[in-house]
Amino acid sequence: MNTRLSFLLDGAEVPFTPGQSVIQAALAAGRYIPHLCYHPEFTPHGSCKLCTVRADGRPAAACTLPARAGLQVDSETEELRALRRTLVQMLFAEGNHFCPSCEKSGNCVLQSLGYDLEVHTAGFRHFFLDRPVDASHPDILLDFNRCVLCRLCVRASEEVDGKGVFYLGGRGVQRRLLVSSESGRLADTDIAVTDKAVEVCPVGVILRKHVGFAVPIGRRRYDVKPLRERALEDAPRGEEGTHG
């Protein structure tokens, strides 16, 4: 007789299959854990720390934490919500995220996280980045001033597109998104507007040209449904959820 494997998330039982992470199992079971750099199609990276939980009393990133039987996980505590609010505030302050003038508004994961966590101000002095925008490609625009270093475009370009168009370079506050071409220009790569790397950016860094502000307010992705609902809809179910 097979025994169902499960762990506890905020006191509720969550089933899992071997190989799943805590966040994969939680989302598949309809339990939302806030996240930004996690994507169900790619190898988890654990860079943003927004999915931090307490597992058996110790902090851990839910996207890289393997699910195991009997594990006790806390996520919806005021301590963790405060941590996540601070992380989101830091991301807003570290980049040029001016939502009313950004064409990603309404489709932006960072913006939607801010709403979900009730972040009303950045809380920190803004950096006001001034990095050159790359408009060299005929169909794609890069605004590096909004990058949150989630590595989603890097992973998508490597794991799905098989092109390796993007990478992160530099250290500390100088770490930034770069283009893998001798010139450093996007036009000198083999990226296509249909690539997965163009689709997955959670903020307004990678933008398609010629379609700006095409979707009116009220019909955008997170206008129609909030982030929590979208994340649960997008979560793989069954055997698909074992990836990573």
C-alpha to C-alpha distances, 164 to 155, 168, 180, 190, nearest whole angstrom = 8, 11, 7, 10
pLDDT in tens, 163-187: 999 999 999 888 999 999 999 999 9
For the chain, percent of residues with pLDDT exceeding 90: 86
CB contact at 8 A, 149 and 49: no
pLDDT in tens, 40-93: 999 898 999 999 999 999 999 999 999 999 999 999 999 999 999 999 999 999
Beta strands in the chain (DSSP E): 6-9, 12-15, 52-55, 58-61, 72-74, 140-142, 166-169, 176-179, 206-208
How confident is the model at residue 214, as a pLDDT?
Answer: 86
The position carrying tokens 């806030």 is 34
Integer Cα distance of 47 and 28 in angstroms: 22
Integer Cα distance of 27 and 79 in angstroms: 21
Give the residue from 151, 139, 207, 198 showing the smallest Cα distance to 177: 151
Integer Cα distance of 40 and 175 in angstroms: 25
On the question of pLDDT at 239 being above 60, the answer is no
The domains located in the chain, with CATH, are: 96-227 (3.30.70.20)
Residue, of 124 and 240, whose pLDDT is higher = 124
CB contact at 8 A, 73 and 22: yes
How confident is the model at residue 131, as a pLDDT?
Answer: 93
On the question of pLDDT at 1 being above 80, the answer is no
When the pLDDT of each residue in the chain is averaged and rounded to a whole number, the result is 93
Burial of residue 167, with CB atoms counted within 10 A of its CB: 0-12 exposed, 13-18 middle, 19 or more buried: middle
